């Protein structure tokens, strides 16, 4: 059973994503991808009580 979405693998192949970590479990492998984003000035605000 393959649970990895093809779009993430293709983005990784195109150097759009980097591997952030790999976790080996008994029945599967979990691959965490990370993506660099451009910082920008925040607009507005948010709060939570």
Three-state helix/strand/coil letters over the chain: CCCCCHHHHHHHHCCCCEEEEEEECCCCEEEEEECCCCCCCCCCCCCCC
- Provide the pLDDT confidence category of residue 4 given band limits of 50, 70 and 90: low
pLDDT at 1 over 60: no
Question: Could you tell me if 32 and 20 are in contact, meaning their C-beta atoms sit under 8 angstroms apart?
Answer: yes
> How does pLDDT run across 17-39, given as a tens digit for each residue?
999 999 999 998 888 889 888 98
Please give the pLDDT value at position 43: 86
Q: pLDDT averaged over the chain?
A: 86
Please give the pLDDT value at position 42: 81
């Amino acid at each position: 059973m393959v649970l990895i979405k093809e779009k993430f693998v293709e983005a990784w192949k195109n150097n759009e994503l980097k591997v952030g970590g790999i976790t080996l479990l008994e029945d599967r492998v979990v691959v965490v991808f990370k993506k660099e984003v451009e910082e920008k000035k925040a607009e507005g605000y948010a709060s939570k009580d």
